[in-house]
Amino acid sequence: MKLRIRRSNKKRVRKVGFLRRNKTSKGKRIIARQRRRYGAYRGAFRK
């Protein structure tokens, strides 16, 4: 049986969240690209 590993939302946000991305120049580039593509920044995970 495969165990389900629960990911920590806090850890994920610290690593790839909006505020963390805003602190770096490359991160800002990612946000800008997402804005161009979707009209808004929707974060790392899409539905």
Distance of CA 11 to the CA centre of its chain: 11
Mean pLDDT across the chain: 86
Full domain range(s) for residue 30: 11-37
DSSP-derived secondary structure for 1-47: -PPPPPPPHHHHHHHHSHHHHHTSHHHHHHHHHHHHHHSS---S---
Is residue 27 assigned to a domain? yes
Any domain includes 44: no
Angle at 11 between CA 9 and CA 29, to 5 degrees: 95
Number of domains within the chain: 1
Q: 44 pLDDT band (50/70/90 cuts)?
A: low
26: pLDDT strictly greater than 70 = yes
pLDDT, residue 46, reads 55
Contact indicator for 2, 34 with CB cutoff of 8 Å: no
The answer to whether residue 25 scores a pLDDT higher than 70 is yes
- Confidence check: pLDDT of 23 > 90: yes
* Residue 32 placed within a domain: yes
